[in-house]
């Protein structure tokens, strides 16, 4: 916990110290619940993604606006019946439009090129995808692929939190790249983008207001909990 641009912030590393937790074993519910308990109302996530589209290149920054979920074993909700009830949360606009607009305004002020809008395919991991899977994702309209956004974005919505992701394109997906994929390649690409993304986050935080002027906060109103 700390301050940035005179605003109180909470930083969380979803993979833990030294990146020790693989994406399929991250306790997404505990992480999002902890942020909620600390009073967080807006989540600005970062994620390494692979490109599925010739329009999205290595080193680009992308803000997903939709997702397709191909995860398999992750708890997807805080509402599992009983006393908690059941919530069929609306995911028409999974990634908060207003937070994405703040990021775009920040990018304009910094002179950074950021693509606003892309369909994020979330896979289970930790393995990379096969070329056959990538071709399927492309047929379904996927534009970037990663392993962490779901159920994180869903859980944030269930607790009435705004959520947006800055996708850092660190590789081209299998069958598109002309060489085998490796985690080392992803890490190297992330390091090159790190300073740029840090500046973008700082400017975004300076621009946004603490208030939620969107529908995210009322996503769980039908069950009236949390």
What confidence tier does 220 reach under pLDDT thresholds 50, 70, 90?
Answer: confident
Residue range 73-102: average pLDDT? 93
Q: Which of 111-115, 158-162, 181-185, 189-193 has the lowest mean pLDDT?
A: 181-185
15 versus 222: the higher-pLDDT residue is 15
Q: What is the pLDDT of residue 124?
A: 97
* Domain-located, residue 107: yes
* Domain-located, residue 87: yes
Q: What is the pLDDT of residue 17?
A: 84
Q: How far apart are CA 165 and CA 92, in angstroms?
A: 16
Residue 179 has pLDDT above 70, yes or no: no
Q: What is the pLDDT of residue 207?
A: 92
For every residue of the chain, which 3-state class applies, written as one string? CEEECCEEECCCCCCCHHHCCCHHHCCHHHHHHHHHHCCCCEEEEEEEEEECCCCCCCCCEEECCEEEEECCCCCCCCCCCHHHCCCCCCCCCCCCHHHHHHHHHHHHHHCCCEEECCEEEEECCCCCCCHHHHHHHHHCCCCEEECCHHHHHHHHHHCCCEEEEEEEEEEECCCCCCCCCCHHHHHHHHHHHHHHHHHHHHHHHHHCCCCCCCCHHHCCCCCCCC
Tokens of 86: 């059941």
Per-position b or e across 202-218, b if 16+ CB within 10 A of its CB:
ebbbeebeeebeebbbe
Per-position b or e across 38-72, b if 16+ CB within 10 A of its CB:
eebebbbbbbbbbbbbeebeeebbbbbbbbebbbe
187 versus 105: the higher-pLDDT residue is 105
Residue 224 has pLDDT above 90, yes or no: no
Residue range 3-27: average pLDDT? 91
Q: What is the pLDDT of residue 83?
A: 81
Q: Total structural domains in the chain?
A: 1
Residue 11 has pLDDT above 70, yes or no: yes
* Domain-located, residue 4: no
Q: What is the pLDDT of residue 6?
A: 85
Q: Which domain holds residue 40?
A: 11-218
* Domain-located, residue 165: yes
* Domain-located, residue 224: no
Reported as a single tens digit per residue, the pLDDT across 123-152 is: 999 999 999 999 999 999 999 999 999 999
* Domain-located, residue 130: yes
Hey, what's the torsion of the CAs at 27, 29, 30, 35, to 10 degrees? 130
Q: What is the pLDDT of residue 226?
A: 61
Tell me the backbone φ, ψ of residue 44, rounded to 5 degrees.
-115, 100
CA distances, 113 to each of 18, 31, 59, 180 (Å):
30, 30, 10, 28
* Domain-located, residue 6: no
What average pLDDT is seen over the chain?
91
CATH of the domain at 62: 3.40.50.1580
Q: What is the pLDDT of residue 193?
A: 86
Residue range 50-69: average pLDDT? 94
Residue 175 has pLDDT above 60, yes or no: no
Distant-in-sequence, close-in-space partners of 69: CB < 8 Å, separation ≥ 6: 122, 150, 151
* Domain-located, residue 129: yes
């Amino acid at each position: 916990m700390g301050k940035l641009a005179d605003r109180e912030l909470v930083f969380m590393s979803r993979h833990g110290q030294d990146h020790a937790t693989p994406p399929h074993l991250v306790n997404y519910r505990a992480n999002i619940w902890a942020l909620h308990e600390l009073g967080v109302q807006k989540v600005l996530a970062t994620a390494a993604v692979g490109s599925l589209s010739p329009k999205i290149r290595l080193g680009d920054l992308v803000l997903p606006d939709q997702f397709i979920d191909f995860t398999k074993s992750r708890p997807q909700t805080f509402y599992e019946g009983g006393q908690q009830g059941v919530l069929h949360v609306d995911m028409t606009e999974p990634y908060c439009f207003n937070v994405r607009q703040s990021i775009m305004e920040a990018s304009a002020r910094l002179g950074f090129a950021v693509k606003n809008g892309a369909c994020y395919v979330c896979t289970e991991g930790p393995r990379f995808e096969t070329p056959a899977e990538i071709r399927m994702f492309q047929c379904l309209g996927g534009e970037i692929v990663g392993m962490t956004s779901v159920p994180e974005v869903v859980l944030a919505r269930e607790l009435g939190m705004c959520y947006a992701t800055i996708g850092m394109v660190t590789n081209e997906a299998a069958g598109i790249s002309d060489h085998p994929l490796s985690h080392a390649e992803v890490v190297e690409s992330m390091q090159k983008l790190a300073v740029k993304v840090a500046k973008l986050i700082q400017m975004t935080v300076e621009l946004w207001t603490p208030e939620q002027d969107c529908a995210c906060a009322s996503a769980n109103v039908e069950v009236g909990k949390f």
